[in-house]
Structure 1
């Protein structure tokens, strides 16, 4: 009997709302992850709950939101109107239930599909919602979306509003941990987009008076800015921009209805186009688009009626219209920039002069590079036909219609043995491998020319597809996978220097990671435990008792492909490379990679920790 003939009515089943979310969580919250990446599911859960509180603020009620994260428990409390008491259960457990279907009430709201809190409820082992309004309170408790308890508190003196408490389900988000830096960045974005809103996070207060201007000031060193930030505001649009003195690449922070569109979309494309057109018209010169936008640091926020995003996680705007009787997104952005940026440049001749000098400098550099760039592109093209350095995967970040595009990962490895182990054990759909030959160059204080002259850097840039724009980035995660020895650490440092020097926004946007690999394998005949530290090794020896076999891994090449699949699969441990908001990239690189050897030696001696100190800390 053929397999097809067994297809009958019994094969078809309808999942209820919570089963559907739990069976296909990726449809609702993107990738799952363990919290090491800013777009992991646990942060989307926090965001979905917060969005409802933000919408209350936008409606003019509830100027303060309190967020607390202790371990795995999240509490979000707002002082909005509170959910209507008779609908507390329905709003968090019935699909297609919510106020956002009434377009008048929430014309430019963030979540338009009534799915958000239902997904959080279904994907949490504990979920409690409590609403207070008109001196009365109602609460409901759930476990994995199943109602466990419901209570009506007739009278209360508590302030009105909604309080949601939840604990993500560890069977879905395996070994997860909230990284407070990611949550803090998300909350800061909320206050930049909603001046006047106060968010208190674990006791720390976030507030913004000047919106996107504050965003650029907080994310960049003031001394690095070529001219004071240009800050323009309209009814449904806000823009802030400057150019960097040191950064090569373009940097955009874009938002739609308060949603951080990390992958841009129609509004960001229109903004990039509008800047070029306006500046060409202002100077009356047909400058190259890349020369105008080189080193730009900018942010744009627009409000659209009933926006259409290219995925459920809303990271890329697909809408072409602003909604209502307004024009297209492209026309709206072009008209606004054309009028207000032009006015600004006329009124601020000093800024206009600095900007023009920057464009002319970019033009000179581009012309100097043109010959070598052409040669490098030809070399990269030839190499990509038989590029032994890159073993590519099938799904890339730009494949909008593919579910797993956020999992697309490029491992950068040293030498053939390490890349061989990863290549044999990787997931060919989402994991690619780029192998380095020896140590890369220290690129500190070098010009962009070196990226084209150095074959390794040129091929890496081509593999990532980031020469023209971050919008074309091929992999969501770039993972440095080197040995945990002195040489491996040095290679890490040299690669981080390369990215900081030429592509800092890869780090700013949270794409760069270090792969943690086990230092020890502890096993007996029944069980094998991989340990990532001395402390974990001691715990494993205690657990397995007797005299287990202990193996110390010296390099990635020693780990067999069969074992390696454990370290780059579901249980992968990644350390994100993050930038301290207080430190300028220039100062950082100068200290660690410059010619100030005595200062560095003193710093290392003063901060040196021996293995025993680290065990005690654990």
Structure 2
């Protein structure tokens, strides 16, 4: 009689397979559940910025409750220090509040009715994901300090007398073993802090010695985000109980929105932003008594909305998207959608009746958008049909399996979706072989693309390459359907490669500026040199790194200068496009005028640009061939972080 033997699965799945993790272990094992993606700081939503946000959110909640009008933030290298002047954590609960999940005051909805954080996780996640975390609370002449390492309590100091203002002081350093090779980009931090200031009029935030302050809230936000010269009429700024909106039409293509809930920047929008866009269209149609196309009304709008709700329901711990809900937990309260529609229908309609000049300017902008749409409708139809046929056998696109706009799937994985835009078959061949087919796509350009500066949007449809690219990105009707979170320019490290990079940046800045403003456009950094001996290989991204590597490996080391991406083997390339790849985000500063920027770099050969090129010529000796060949490189680029 045959003996029954347990299957391998049953033999390995037993009581010993079941583990119970404590709060610290779970956060460190699954950080994405608490702070979204990790990243190295090259993207606005990378984890290190979420850590800063989680601590600052608690300070903001104190201000909203009427305690403390100043927050001090200092960030040097990897150390972050944040101090508020609120009430301070109750001294007997300091350790619990930063190290015990589901511990906090925000479960008492009377005390924190419209708080940003409600589940008592944020600061604990910061603690668990930091190599050093210390918290100091000062209340009524006494203070308490506790220090942690990766969430483990190291120093529990006794309560002492201290003559200082009330408040909470937190210092932390993100764990470099979790956030690999991270760095804080100042522009991202400044935008994050400005948003806090705009949403909390009267609050002063001091960041590295500089004060951030706003009097007019979202009006100030839009004035910072858009170029004043591009506004078609003065910004419409409307405020009500628990809601504030601001918007205007500009001369740019696309739509540009900023949305907030209880002071939280909802980068992925949600029900409140959808309702805002819908309400603008409905109110304007009713005001003029005409059924304008919604796209014509919203074309070129720059807008911002901030609402406050009780117990907000976000779609993730990082709170980047608001779910469907009512204004308060009361089942009889209006939905967010109806609340915003009612407010706009009443307040915007009144504003337009009182400001006929603005109403005329809006009508002119809508009619202009309508004319532009009709002018290219024939070309657009033909181009779309051509793109549809080409998409079946699009040789330019090597698509991936997961996309940013997928309805289902892991959010962190979708945020990793990337399309590399590269030049020529050799470079795209190496990229295609080395990429992750799940989340990385490759689009191959045919040499240098058209300089589209000062061109109309007809070019996007008439130029086959541009038409195929923007269909691959799925941005014809805005960013809602964007298929890749990161658009990466991967060009050769030579003059032609730099020129192609500039031409592609011109394309996006001119026709799809909101895509750049939202942080989707990046530049891939690949090594310029490979220095190696028989024991070790070092990849270098600058002359300085090459010299350091040469000093380390000795004068006999082999030095290879990479000029084209096609020269890098697929096996090597895989190291440069993995989860630790070096990306430089394209960032637009407040002082940057897109029109002036493109005119200077991509317009006719102006005297200013000639003088800049002459003043910045740099002569380099080609170290690879070790000959007298001279390579002239022009140092200059569009603004990157």
TM-score norm. by structure 2 comes to 0.94
Q: Could you report, residue by residue, the CA deviation over 1:166-213 in whole angstroms, capped at 9, with x for unpaired residues?
A: 000010111111111100000000010100010000011100000000
1:64 aligns with 2:70: yes
Deviation of 1:259 (Å):
0.9
Deviation of 1:571 (Å):
2.6
**376-385 or 232-241, which moves further after superposition?**
376-385
Structure 2 residue aligned with 1:251: 256
Matches within 5 A, 1:502-517: 502-517=511-526
1:236 aligns with 2:242: yes
Matches within 5 A, 1:166-315: 166-244=172-250, 246-315=251-320
Which segments of 5 or more consecutive residues in structure 1 lack a partner in the other structure? Answer: none
Return the match for 1:128 from 134, 137, 140.
Answer: 134
1:118 aligns with 2:127: no
Deviation of 1:546 (Å):
5.3
CA distance in 2, matches of 1:201, 1:583: 22
1:434 aligns with 2:443: yes
CA distance in 2, matches of 1:101, 1:537: 55
Structure 2 residue aligned with 1:47: 53
Paired residues of 1:309 and 1:317 also in contact (CA < 8 A): yes
Deviation of 1:405 (Å):
1.4
SS at match of 1:42: helix
Q: Could you report, residue by residue, the CA deviation over 1:572-617 in whole angstroms, capped at 9, with x for unpaired residues?
A: 11111111211211111111111134321111222345559x9xxx
Paired residues of 1:264 and 1:471 also in contact (CA < 8 A): no
Structure 1 residue aligned with 2:559: 550
Structure 1 residue aligned with 2:539: 530
Structure 1 residue aligned with 2:630: none
Which segments of 5 or more consecutive residues in structure 2 lack a partner in the other structure? Answer: 1-5, 622-632, 634-641
CA distance in 2, matches of 1:606, 1:417: 34
Q: Could you report, residue by residue, the CA deviation over 1:554-580 in whole angstroms, capped at 9, with x for unpaired residues?
A: 100010110001101133111111112
Paired residues of 2:91 and 2:159 also in contact (CA < 8 A): no
CA distance in 1, matches of 2:403, 2:190: 28
1:463 aligns with 2:482: no
Deviation of 1:465 (Å):
1.2
Structure 1 residue aligned with 2:341: 334
Return the match for 1:35 from 41, 44, 66.
Answer: 41
1:360 aligns with 2:367: yes
1:15 aligns with 2:24: no
CA distance in 1, matches of 2:384, 2:111: 53
Paired residues of 1:307 and 1:319 also in contact (CA < 8 A): no
Structure 2 residue aligned with 1:407: 416
Change beyond 3 A, Cα 1:55–1:609? farther
Return the match for 1:520 from 522, 529, 535.
Answer: 529
Paired residues of 2:493 and 2:562 also in contact (CA < 8 A): no
Paired residues of 1:30 and 1:406 also in contact (CA < 8 A): no
CA distance in 2, matches of 1:443, 1:341: 37
Q: Could you report, residue by residue, the CA deviation over 1:248-284 in whole angstroms, capped at 9, with x for unpaired residues?
A: 1011111111111111111111111111100000000
CA distance in 2, matches of 1:394, 1:17: 34
Q: Could you report, residue by residue, the CA deviation over 1:324-359 in whole angstroms, capped at 9, with x for unpaired residues?
A: 342011101110000100000000000000110111
CA distance in 1, matches of 2:340, 2:282: 12
TM-score norm. by structure 1 comes to 0.97
CA distance in 2, matches of 1:76, 1:394: 42
SS at match of 1:292: helix
Structure 2 residue aligned with 1:347: 354
CA distance in 1, matches of 2:13, 2:355: 72
Paired residues of 1:32 and 1:172 also in contact (CA < 8 A): yes
SS at match of 1:522: strand
Deviation of 1:362 (Å):
0.8
CA distance in 1, matches of 2:211, 2:620: 37
Paired residues of 1:380 and 1:459 also in contact (CA < 8 A): yes
> How many matched pairs?
612
Deviation of 1:319 (Å):
2.5
**340-349 or 455-464, which moves further after superposition?**
455-464
**533-542 or 74-83, which moves further after superposition?**
533-542
Q: Could you report, residue by residue, the CA deviation over 1:396-450 in whole angstroms, capped at 9, with x for unpaired residues?
A: 2223641311111111111111111111111112211111111111000011111
CA distance in 1, matches of 2:580, 2:541: 12
Q: Could you report, residue by residue, the CA deviation over 1:289-323 in whole angstroms, capped at 9, with x for unpaired residues?
A: 00000000100111111111122211111123212
SS at match of 2:48: helix
SS at match of 1:540: helix
What is the aligned-residue RMSD (CA, Å)?
1.3
CA distance in 1, matches of 2:366, 2:325: 30
1:382 aligns with 2:389: yes
Q: Could you report, residue by residue, the CA deviation over 1:152-176 in whole angstroms, capped at 9, with x for unpaired residues?
A: 2421011110000000001011111
Structure 2 residue aligned with 1:105: 111
Return the match for 2:613 from 584, 604, 611.
Answer: 604
CA distance in 1, matches of 2:579, 2:367: 49
CA distance in 2, matches of 1:33, 1:562: 23
**539-548 or 483-492, which moves further after superposition?**
539-548
Paired residues of 2:259 and 2:305 also in contact (CA < 8 A): yes
